[in-house]
Amino acid sequence: MSLIIMKRIWILSVLLLSRGLVAPAQDVDILDATNRRLAALLEKVQSNSDSQHTPRIKAPRVVETANEVMVTVSVPLAGDEKHHIRRLALFDENSVVKLKYVATFSPAVRQAQVTVAIKMAKSTRLKAIAECSLHGKWLGISSAIEVGVGGCGAGQEPTRKLVGEVLRVRFQEIGELVQANMLFRHPMLSGYVMNADGRIAKSYDPFFLKSARVIYRGQPVAEFEIGPGLSDNPQIAILLPRLGNEPLRAEAINSVQQQFMLMARIPQ
């Protein structure tokens, strides 16, 4: 192929990209992207047990239908400004979407705990990573979870029309702490399905919430990388200190760049 023809093809591609007629190269497949993110999180992780840093995973031992498996990940460390858990991640190596979430905390969150409902594909042991501000990354592994019917697949193609309130926030007092629950009305679909023989096939374009965060006085308190590994209409619960009188701001963005926001006042 001559240089002149190659140059013309390149110019045409640039024009099509600028008009949204060709998918940009950086629009990476979601499974590849989450697998790379998980690989980065697993770098230099410590698998030996530690009384302060090893994450604990609470999940049911037996699951009949795995579309909505409630899982709590917590770390024993009661942190302070210098020594705290700054990141938690949950993953399942036997799911279609392996990485379920990555939660990043400010030093204001002294007790790292996240509760979500996830999709699972088969019997497995869930794993979690806790990253300490001083002592690196630590790996925790759940007890064996027996799954009847897996829920980590594409399912019926969803509507892109969202009706009613997409985001709500509820609070529950737990001793000196407050549990903040972000409740979403939104599909969490990857567009992929795992066939009976274990092969993964794409059925349609994905549609899911990809990030959420909690802000107080203009500063992020907790930020979440999420995706279709969570159950439809997901719930995300975290433990917060009693921050003060000003309202808390919850935000989220989905895979088609729609944004959602809500203000809510923490109980005093």
d(CA 49, CA 144): 18
Specify if 108 maps to a domain.
yes
pLDDT digits 0-9 by tens, 178-190: 999 999 999 999 9
The whole-number average pLDDT for the span 67-92 is 95
Residue 10 has pLDDT above 60, yes or no: no
Specify if 3 maps to a domain.
no
Q: Which two tokens stand for residue 52?
A: 């302060």
Specify if 9 maps to a domain.
no
Q: What is the pLDDT confidence band of residue 13, given thresholds at 50, 70 and 90?
A: very low
Specify if 10 maps to a domain.
no
Residues in the chain: 268
DSSP line for 48-65: S--TTTS-EEE--SEEEE
Q: What is the 3-state secondary structure (H, E, C) of 184-240?
A: ECCCCECCEEECCCCCEEECCCCECEEEEEEEECCEEEEEEECCCCECCCCEEEEEE
Q: Which domain holds residue 74?
A: 26-264
Count of the separate structural domains present in the chain: 1
Strand order in the sheet with 167-174: 56-58, 69-78, 111-118, 235-240, 177-184, 167-174
Q: What is the pLDDT of residue 156?
A: 61
Residue 102 has pLDDT above 60, yes or no: yes
Return the CATH number at 109.
2.60.40.730
d(CA 133, CA 86): 6
Per the model's pLDDT, the better-predicted residue between 176 and 44 turns out to be 44
Q: What is the pLDDT of residue 14?
A: 32
Per the model's pLDDT, the better-predicted residue between 160 and 86 turns out to be 86
Q: What is the pLDDT of residue 7?
A: 37
Mean pLDDT over all residues of the chain?
A: 86
Q: What is the pLDDT confidence band of residue 155, given thresholds at 50, 70 and 90?
A: low
Q: What is the pLDDT of residue 203?
A: 80
Please, what is the Cα angle at 143 between 142 and 148, to 5 degrees? 105
Please, what is the Cα angle at 62 between 57 and 66, to 5 degrees? 85
Specify if 2 maps to a domain.
no
The whole-number average pLDDT for the span 88-100 is 96
Calculate the CA 92 to chain-centre distance.
Answer: 12
Model confidence, pTM = 0.86
Residue 71 has pLDDT above 80, yes or no: yes
Specify if 11 maps to a domain.
no
